[in-house]
Structure 1
């Protein structure tokens, strides 16, 4: 492998594919729960599930607010059309 020029105090290591990495040793990046492909899939699915659950809650709340707004505006419009408001 040809020598690498290191600038600004960065040290480069090589990945198993022969590509340089500025994040450190490749084994250090794969340590922990995210190192296994099945674990990465599990993490991704849990993240998607959280987004769906939180989105469902926010949308149900937004739907209620829109419904309340429509009712309030309809009441105000009805009262102003009759001349009470």
Structure 2
């Protein structure tokens, strides 16, 4: 089996991540990924909460006028 230089690069850089600065970089990259994924989920969650508030508000207004939807 022949490995290309691109496939050997992680093996050659493995020693860089074993030191304290390398480990700190790995932790910071992991935190950045968690924050980015969290931002996407929060964006969706915020839209869902906004839509739910509008629907409940509309149902409340309809109930004030005697129209029972539920």
TM-score bin (small chain): 0.5 to 0.7
Q: Deviations over 1:5-27 (max 9, x none)?
A: xxxxxxxxxxxxxxxxxxxxxxx
Matched residue, 1:3: none
Question: Which TM-score applies when normalising by structure 1?
Answer: 0.57
1:46 corresponds to 2:15: no
Cα deviation 1:31-73 (Å, max 9, x = unaligned): 7564122211110110110111011111111111110010000
**For residues 47 and 33 of structure 1, what CA distance do their matches in structure 2 show?**
17
Gaps (5+ residues) in structure 1?
A: 1-30
Moved over 2 A (4+): 31-34
For 1:1-85, list aligned pairs within 5 A: 34-85=17-68
> Aligned partners of 2:15, 2:58: CA distance in 1, in Å?
58
**Structure 2: any 5+ residue segments left out of the alignment?**
1-13
Alpha-carbon offset, residue 79 of structure 1: 0.7
Tell me the TM-score normalized by structure 2: 0.67
**Matched positions, count:** 55
